[in-house]
Structure 1
């Protein structure tokens, strides 16, 4: 019997508190709705990715801003359930954490209103000198851009692979990308002067990123292999909730790419993300299906 190796990942970026409601549809103006179900969890791209990475049998560490506001106890207790370490870049701040309010409709689509990390940017002086000790892989979502750039440079110097979650283009990505090994982007990721997927691939390839993929939800993943854009089909499912699927994909990718080829890692990650979409919220897929 082969025993899976446990890896250690560092996840750099946004940490939020997510209030997630299941309802027939989002409310209209002046309309009040009673939700059919709800759940509360920590959220943010790298946070959900870290939970996914941990669930697959690894050790995850999140680098971001949480602070000491009473609401942060909900974030800390949730992540403690998954044995995830938080490295707080501003643990003394009493400001409330970013909160996302999310309505998931019966069709599986979601409506989100949130505050991102714009008001909780950390300084690179807050990074400890041993932050990358024993780390096997780094995932950066761009929400803590200055910190992310610094970590990516340190990781490259130590030959630690760097993955970006390219959900959307953010100022500063141009400084981060030269230190990236794997660019896993959404269909909404458009660098300056790029309007098509082909232009995005060309932009990232010119920078020298060796592995690039663009996800398209339930449609095939595009990825660059040997200077050719190829397609990878994803599982066909009846989605109950697509919230966090991309984040979960990234966490699974960080697990699989350390063990398998780039293409296989994309394929296996798509299976994990598809599984997560069959359950309400960002956690219940793990409760129903143990690692």
Structure 2
């Protein structure tokens, strides 16, 4: 099978958290005061930006990362792992003393869920850690900027400079965070966790929340919400003004697209609407298309851990943007990358490389 060519636009700059994950799998989550034994244990790099950029690097892009670690053993491990995976650490900040970020992750083998306990790095990153000359160099030649919503003061400065250079920005809206609204104002693309759209907009449903997001963020070309085993949903803005577009209730449209899903399909697919005036009752209307991305039906015996699945999905979306993929190819590809990741413990253990045979059909 022919290996697909890499995209020409491959330089990605990411700003956010990079850390270490201590992952312990257990037969089932313990009750208070219980003492149990792990069934497996791993120590891997972690953090939203660290994971997404590692995914992008393995897919063949050239990521650069802006983040902060300490000069401790964890920080050394974080940097070494990035270097092995091809993530440029030239713009990382290393503090004297303090501690690097780390997370305890408990994976429940029975329910296939994970619980995370995060300890932030100290001292925290501040804008003064990133001189203008270093910021300028980090953005030179960049094709896209990724922000995970953390380190918001530094991310804001990077976003300002990226916008002035016309570099598109993708924002990971995982949850409500301090400073996230300011960063979202710069976004060209937004990828949300399942709960974020309604939490941010107070809309009555996820489809109506996506309409609200595009109305509030006028520069956003598309917004995606990940839905776990339910796949994902994308609302793509259409710029063309056409009075002949059909008006469609976005909730009803979503139901119709879901009804077209093939229950017997085992690999990810995409089901798309026509362009129309998508209406959200009491919220407003946008010209656009709705795309339903289905998840891979992973056999229970192969499903190990969902830690970092969203980061893998975003890494694949970043690749797709650089490769100028249409949504009909982007969403199945991103869902497939996330599914491959879920077959091993940790966020990075099974992140695929761009020549992985399981990805080749999605990159034709």
- The secondary structure found in structure 2 opposite 1:103 is strand
Structure 2 unaligned residues grouped into runs of 5+: 239-287, 357-364
Q: Report the CA distance between 1:124 and its aligned residue.
A: 5.0
- Structure 1 contact 191–203 (Cα < 8 Å) conserved: no
Does residue 202 (structure 1) correspond to residue 211 (structure 2)? The answer is yes
The corresponding residue for 1:5 is 7
Q: Report the CA distance between 1:105 and its aligned residue.
A: 1.8
The corresponding residue for 1:178 is 185
Shift of the 29–266 alpha-carbon distance from structure 1 to 2, 3 Å rule, reads same
Q: Report the CA distance between 1:26 and its aligned residue.
A: 2.5
* TM-score (normalizing by structure 2): 0.74
Aligned length: 291
Q: Which has the larger radius of gyration?
A: 2
- The secondary structure found in structure 2 opposite 1:91 is strand
Cα separation, 2, equivalents of 1:180 and 1:117: 26
Cα separation, 2, equivalents of 1:5 and 1:230: 24
* TM-score (normalizing by structure 1): 0.91
The corresponding residue for 2:118 is 114
**In terms of mean alpha carbon deviation, does 94-103 or 31-40 score higher?**
31-40
The corresponding residue for 2:145 is 138
Does residue 54 (structure 1) correspond to residue 60 (structure 2)? The answer is no
Cα separation, 1, equivalents of 2:116 and 2:343: 19
| Regions of 4+ moved over 6 Å | none
- The secondary structure found in structure 1 opposite 2:89 is strand
- The secondary structure found in structure 2 opposite 1:183 is strand
Cα separation, 2, equivalents of 1:250 and 1:41: 19
Q: Report the CA distance between 1:49 and its aligned residue.
A: 0.4
- The secondary structure found in structure 1 opposite 2:137 is coil
Q: Please list the CA deviations of residues 4-46 of structure 1 after superposition, one character each: whole Å capped at 9, or x if unmatched.
A: 2351111110111110111112222222222121111111111
Q: Report the CA distance between 1:110 and its aligned residue.
A: 0.7
RMSD: 2.3
Q: Report the CA distance between 1:119 and its aligned residue.
A: 5.9
Q: Report the CA distance between 1:71 and its aligned residue.
A: 2.4
Shift of the 44–237 alpha-carbon distance from structure 1 to 2, 3 Å rule, reads same
Q: Report the CA distance between 1:65 and its aligned residue.
A: 0.8
Cα separation, 1, equivalents of 2:317 and 2:305: 20
- The secondary structure found in structure 1 opposite 2:139 is coil
- The secondary structure found in structure 1 opposite 2:232 is strand
Q: Report the CA distance between 1:170 and its aligned residue.
A: 1.1
Q: Report the CA distance between 1:196 and its aligned residue.
A: 3.5
- The secondary structure found in structure 1 opposite 2:346 is coil
Cα separation, 2, equivalents of 1:125 and 1:243: 30
